[in-house]
């Protein structure tokens, strides 16, 4: 296995810890992943909600500051680590969150849940920040490359190819196209790689995301042409994950059949532990709870009262509410058997390489 190069950064191990909101992957998890030699990502969505800065009425003021606070705490854990953020295009304050990521010292910005067409413009004063869009198709990668080149004379520093058939959380594919058996993730990985090589003359790092759980998955992804992997669900059942123990226990308790697709009020399909969706809806709709944060550019709950308030449902789950909290996960979450440490996961994935922790010498 080779180290992973993204922009100016050399990552000792070819792994990005996927962003998981709200506060599932915050400072503690991201910092410890970076300490072990991977890329640790703080999920930026909804960070204000469980922050001392939040009064209940100042979401858009508190959110960027809460992000900067998480970045500071992550760097206290791994001063020399590669720490970044996951920024959802679908959120209302996307521009502010991207800028706060840069101001807070993020070295990498991974961005999906929409096409991040203006990401280079937002980060132009921070040229060292590596920009990594998430796509599920060659077409999306082509659209981003053409736009970034024409408007900003810039290419991505890497591209994440996410498999909608296995990934957790919000998915970049239409609901009716997921699970049909027609999607070939690694054909897409190779096509994206070849596109950047032939069209732009660059050896673009392409990262495979979705369904990555163990060393065999990592080795398979690399053998199929990926330069690295993004893994999220595996890190939930760790001591360092920022979720409450009850959230982690939901992973330990769930079966393969408990995991399925939902429609998010953001207008995107998502993968979650789905057994309590009616309770989530009832909590918000029957409780006549109105939108309090306006956190999404497009939201069926805010606009017409459909479904539920997703950011608060995710926040409740992070705090341990398994009854009315939404628990996002990938298809392999049922494989979790125990609470382990981030270091133990790295040892399993890359043990033959005898990794060395990134220290703050």
Residue-by-residue DSSP string for 52-111: TT--SS-HHHHHHHHHHHHHHHHHHH-TTSEEEEEEETTBTTHHHHHHHHHHTT-SEEEE
Same-domain check for residues 209 and 302: no
Are 58 and 195 members of one domain? yes
Question: How buried is 174 (Cβ within 10 angstroms: 0-12 exposed, 13-18 middle, 19+ buried)?
Answer: exposed
What is the C-alpha to C-alpha distance for residues 174 and 178, in angstroms, rounded to an integer?
7
Report yes or no: 113 and 172 within 8 Å, Cβ to Cβ.
yes
pLDDT score, position 252: 98
* Contact yes or no for 45/22 (Cβ under 8 A): yes
Q: Note whether 49 and 181 are same-domain residues.
A: yes
Question: What's the rounded Cα separation, in Å, for the pair 24 and 327?
Answer: 10
Distance CA 29, CA 291 (A): 29
Helix axes 59-77, 27-35, angle to 10 degrees: 30
User: Within a domain: residue 359?
Assistant: no
DSSP 296: B
Cα–Cα distance measured from residue 173 to residue 134, given in angstroms and rounded to the nearest whole number: 12
Predicted pLDDT at 353: 57
Rounded-to-integer distance, Cα 336 and Cα 54, Å: 33
Which residue, 92, 48, 83, 41, is CA-closest to 66? Answer: 48
CA atoms within 13 A on the CB side of 307: 20
- Residues making up the chain, counted from first to last: 361
Strand partners, 169: 271
Kindly give the parts of the chain with pLDDT less than 50: 354-361
190, 288: one domain: no
Q: Mind listing the pLDDT tens digit for each residue in 94-106? A: 999 999 999 999 9
143 and 250 co-located in one domain: no
Would you state the structure tokens that stand for residue 208, as one six-digit string?
């495979």
Domain co-membership, 47 together with 91: yes
Tokens at residue 200, please? Answer: 């732009």
Same domain, 277 and 314: yes
Please give the tally of structural domains in the chain: 2
Regarding whether 347 and 306 lie in a shared domain, the answer is: no
Residue 352: the pLDDT is: 66
> In this structure, is residue 361 part of a structural domain?
no
Task: State the pLDDT at residue 318.
Answer: 97
On whether residue 64 sits in a domain, the answer given is: yes
Tell me: do 343 and 301 sit in the same domain: no
DSSP symbol at 169 = E
**pLDDT at site 321:** 96
Regarding whether 340 and 320 lie in a shared domain, the answer is no
Q: How far apart are CA 86 and CA 131, in angstroms?
A: 10
Tokens 């910092």: give the residue: 31
Cβ neighbors of 44 (< 8 A, separation 6 or more) are 19, 21, 63, 67, 85, 86, 87, 88, 91, 97, 100, 101
Q: Is the peptide bond before 22 cis (omega within 30 degrees of 0)?
A: yes
pLDDT of residue 356: 45
Confirm whether 234 is domain-assigned: yes
Note whether 307 and 236 are same-domain residues. Answer: no
Looking at residue 148, which CATH number applies to its domain? 3.20.20.70
219 part of a folded domain: yes
CB count within 10 Å of CB 343 equals: 17
What confidence score (pLDDT) does residue 142 get? 98
State whether 67 and 122 are in the same domain.
Answer: yes
Does a structural domain hold residue 360?
A: no
- What is the CB neighbour count within 10 angstroms for residue 341? 13
CA 77 vs CA 36, 111, 137, 169, 240: distances in Å: 11, 24, 36, 26, 11
In a domain, 358, yes or no: no
Domain of residue 251 covers 246-328
3-class state of residue 259 by DSSP: strand
């Amino acid at each position: 296995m080779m180290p992973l190069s993204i922009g100016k950064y050399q990552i000792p191990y070819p792994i990005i810890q996927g962003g998981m909101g709200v506060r599932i992957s915050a400072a503690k998890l991201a910092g410890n992943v970076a300490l072990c030699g991977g890329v640790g990502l703080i999920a930026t969505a909804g960070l204000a909600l469980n922050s001392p800065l939040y009064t209940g009425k100042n979401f858009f003021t508190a959110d960027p500051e809460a992000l900067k606070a998480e970045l500071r705490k992550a760097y206290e854990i791994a001063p020399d680590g590669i720490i970044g953020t996951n920024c959802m295009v679908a959120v209302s304050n996307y521009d502010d969150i991207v800028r706060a990521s840069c101001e807070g010292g993020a070295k990498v910005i991974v961005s999906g849940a929409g096409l991040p067409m203006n990401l280079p413009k937002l980060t132009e004063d921070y040229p060292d920040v590596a920009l990594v869009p998430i796509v599920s198709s060659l077409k999306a990668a082509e659209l981003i490359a053409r736009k970034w080149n024409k408007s900003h004379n810039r290419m991505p520093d890497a591209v994440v190819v996410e498999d909608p058939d296995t990934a957790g959380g919000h998915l970049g594919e239409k609901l009716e196209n997921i699970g049909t058996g027609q999607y070939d993730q690694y054909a897409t990985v190779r096509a994206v790689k070849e596109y950047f090589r032939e069209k732009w003359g660059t050896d673009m790092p392409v990262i495979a995301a979705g369904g990555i759980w163990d060393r065999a998955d990592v080795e398979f992804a690399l053998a199929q042409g990926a330069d690295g992997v993004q893994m999220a669900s595996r890190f939930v059942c760790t001591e360092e994950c920022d979720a409450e123990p009850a959230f982690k226990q939901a992973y330990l308790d769930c079966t393969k059949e408990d995991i399925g697709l939902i429609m998010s009020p953001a207008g995107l399909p998502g993968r979650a532990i789905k057994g309590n969706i009616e309770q989530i809806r009832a909590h918000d709709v029957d409780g006549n709870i109105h939108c309090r944060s306006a956190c999404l550019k497009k939201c069926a709950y805010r606009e017409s009262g459909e479904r539920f308030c997703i950011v608060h449902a995710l926040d409740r789950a992070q705090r341990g509410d398994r009854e009315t909290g939404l628990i996002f996960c990938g298809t392999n979450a049922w494989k979790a058997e125990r609470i382990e440490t981030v270091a133990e996961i790295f040892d399993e994935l890359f043990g033959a390489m005898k990794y060395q922790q990134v220290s703050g010498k």
